[in-house]
Amino acid sequence: MSTATGISRRRLLGLGVAGAAGAAAVGAFAGRTLPGGSAPAHTEAAGGAVPFYGRHQAGITTPAQDHLHFVAFDVITEKRGELVELLQEWTAAAARMTQGKSAGPFGPVGGDPQAPPDDTGEALDLPPSQLTLTIGFGPSLFDERFGLADRRPPALVDLPSFPGDALIPEISGGDICVQACANDPQVAVHAIRNLARIGFGRVSVRYSQLGFGRTSSTSYAQETPRNLFGFKDGTANLKLEDAAMLDEHLWVAPGDGPGWMTGGTYLVVRKIRMHIETWDRAPLAEQEAIFGRDKARGAPLTGRDEFDEPDFTKTGADGKPVIAENSHVRLAHPSRHGGARLLRRGYNYVDGSDGLGRLDAGLFFMAYQRDPRKQFIPIQMELARHDALNEYIKHVSSGVFACPPGVTDAGDFWGRALFT
Ligand SMILES: C=CC1=C(C)c2cc3[nH]c(cc4nc(cc5[nH]c(cc1n2)c(C)c5CCC(=O)O)C(CCC(=O)O)=C4C)c(C)c3C=C
Ligand SMILES: [Fe+2]
């Protein structure tokens, strides 16, 4: 998207037009319509910038954007100083890119023509698109390489193997993860590509995953989206408006573990293949019984409206529970897990077809929480053992990461308190 002069907002900012003049230019841009009076392709709300600095990292309670590019890196340098420098460089680039600027100060075309550009350029004409970049540190980072073994939080456990797991090691784990979310997939891909480029020689990409169509709402202002089985997903999620619940279930509090994690949270990722063609042959009544919710409105089978509380005691004419014992929502419900909740922030994925005519598709499940030992692990153990949904899904990749608190200002960097 371009300004009246034909120079993009990202380019303007990337070329260093800052301060009052830059702000005025951006302000003018933000309010303008395209020639002919049509609305911009991205509204400012969808295309605007999410603040990078704050007590918590952005991209967790931020209203879930439409697109994901998730990456897990292996650290290949063994020098602690090089890793710290990389985190500093990444933080500076992330602070810039999330505000719609280029990854480096010169941008795709403003530097020395004899040197590779400090930004790859494919987001040159695009608005910030609510890009957020969220970092996490995996258990393997806390081995002997960087002197971090005694700084590993007890809550950052290796996940146990769950019944039915079919994990592929090459797309599981990772020393460091970065979740890029944006309302434009090209902006998310650009951000991860540039972080990987900056990390050359110090990290290598272990795996990455594209996701589209968020499968959760993280704000009451958002409509509940649908997953690839056609059901509303994210109804009973933690929402950013529930501040007390976030303190109880999401953010690491003082005394929970090492001080460097206070204000942070833990992320569990699971790539879950969904057997779409088998599901599509299941009768509607069976699909609804599996989730315990109706397909049209997402209401519990004991209620009428989406946000009605399920009644697990209610029985039908046959004397059986209306919401089946092996239904997904009964097994995952907080009442079964001592009140434990998750902030789910997953995305649909389709990686093409599998060569046998079936979609290679599913849910890239991501859930943030205060302590995976008390939240994800017991919930998933229950689901893995009893969930009727298991006939239609397969967990193929897994990861757990400690996501540090937010970067407070330009002097701070991702994970500073861990390394100092
Ligand atoms: C271990 C955690 C969970 C995994 C893994 C998981 C996989 C998974 N879920 C769906 C679809 C739905 N899940 C729903 C609710 C729900 N799911 C979990 C946890 C996991 N799901 C929780 C904690 C809840 C909320 C339970 C409650 O409090 O009522 C729903 C219902 C709508 C909603 O509340 O979001 C759907 C639909 C799929 C397809 C899937 C794996 C592919
Ligand atoms: Fe679920």
Looking at residue 111, its pLDDT comes to 97
Looking at residue 44, its pLDDT comes to 60
Model confidence at 45, pLDDT cuts 50, 70, 90, reads confident
pLDDT, average across residues 300-324: 97
- Per the CB < 8 A criterion, the answer to whether 23 and 377 are in contact is no
Ligand 1, atom nearest to 310 Cα: 29
Model confidence at 30, pLDDT cuts 50, 70, 90, reads very low
- Per the CB < 8 A criterion, the answer to whether 400 and 159 are in contact is yes
The H helix count followed by the E strand count for the chain is: 11, 9
Model confidence at 318, pLDDT cuts 50, 70, 90, reads very high
Between the alpha carbon of residue 66 and those of residues 94, 123, 185, 272, the distances in Å are 19, 17, 8, 19
Query: What percent of the chain is modeled with pLDDT above 70?
Result: 90
Apex 138 CA angle, 338 and 118, nearest 5? 130
User: What are the structure tokens assigned to 302, written together?
Assistant: 């004991």
Residue with CA at minimum distance from ligand 1 atom 7:
365
Looking at residue 368, its pLDDT comes to 98
Looking at residue 342, its pLDDT comes to 98
Ligand 1 first shell, C-beta below 6 A: 227, 229, 231-237, 270, 272, 274, 291, 293, 328-329, 332-334, 342, 362-363, 365, 376, 379-380, 383, 393
Mean pLDDT across the chain = 91
Question: How far is 119 from 116, CA to CA, in rounded Å?
Answer: 8
pLDDT in tens, 197-226: 999 999 999 999 999 999 888 999 999 999
pLDDT above 80: residue 5: no
- Per the CB < 8 A criterion, the answer to whether 274 and 229 are in contact is yes
Give the distance (Å) from ligand 2 centre to CA of residue 49.
30
Looking at residue 27, its pLDDT comes to 30
Looking at residue 25, its pLDDT comes to 30
The residue ranking higher by pLDDT, 210 or 44, is: 210
Question: How far is 73 from 202, CA to CA, in rounded Å?
Answer: 10
Pocket test for ligand 1, best of 344, 345, 376 (most atoms within 8 A of CB): 344
Ligand 1, atom nearest to 274 Cα: 42
Question: How far is 328 from 175, CA to CA, in rounded Å?
Answer: 32
Kindly report the pTM of this predicted structure.
Answer: 0.91
User: What are the structure tokens assigned to 121, written together?
Assistant: 């350029």
pLDDT above 60: residue 58: yes
Looking at residue 351, its pLDDT comes to 98
Looking at residue 228, its pLDDT comes to 98
pLDDT, average across residues 67-87: 98
pLDDT, average across residues 35-44: 36
pLDDT in tens, 126-180: 999 999 999 999 999 999 999 999 999 999 999 999 999 999 999 999 999 999 9
Amino acid at 11: R
Give the distance (Å) from ligand 2 centre to CA of residue 237.
10
Ligand 1, atom nearest to 229 Cα: 39
Question: How far is 417 from 403, CA to CA, in rounded Å?
Answer: 12
pLDDT above 60: residue 42: no
Residue with CA at minimum distance from ligand 1 atom 20:
332
pLDDT above 70: residue 256: yes
Buried b / exposed e along 98-128 (16+ C-beta atoms within 10 A): bbbbbbbebbbebbeeeeebbbbbebbebbb
Question: How far is 12 from 109, CA to CA, in rounded Å?
Answer: 12
Ligand 1, atom nearest to 380 Cα: 1
Query: What percent of the chain is modeled with pLDDT above 90?
Result: 88
Buried b / exposed e along 407-419 (16+ C-beta atoms within 10 A): beeeebbbbbbbb
- The one-character DSSP state at 37 is G
Give the distance (Å) from ligand 2 centre to CA of residue 271.
13
Ligand 1, atom nearest to 231 Cα: 37
pLDDT in tens, 89-117: 999 999 999 999 999 999 999 999 999 99
The set of residues, in sequence order, having a beta carbon less than 8 Å from that of 187 and lying 6+ positions away, is 123, 126, 128, 129, 131
pLDDT above 80: residue 292: yes
pLDDT above 80: residue 21: no
Model confidence at 68, pLDDT cuts 50, 70, 90, reads very high
User: What are the structure tokens assigned to 290, written together?
Assistant: 């599996």
pLDDT above 80: residue 358: yes
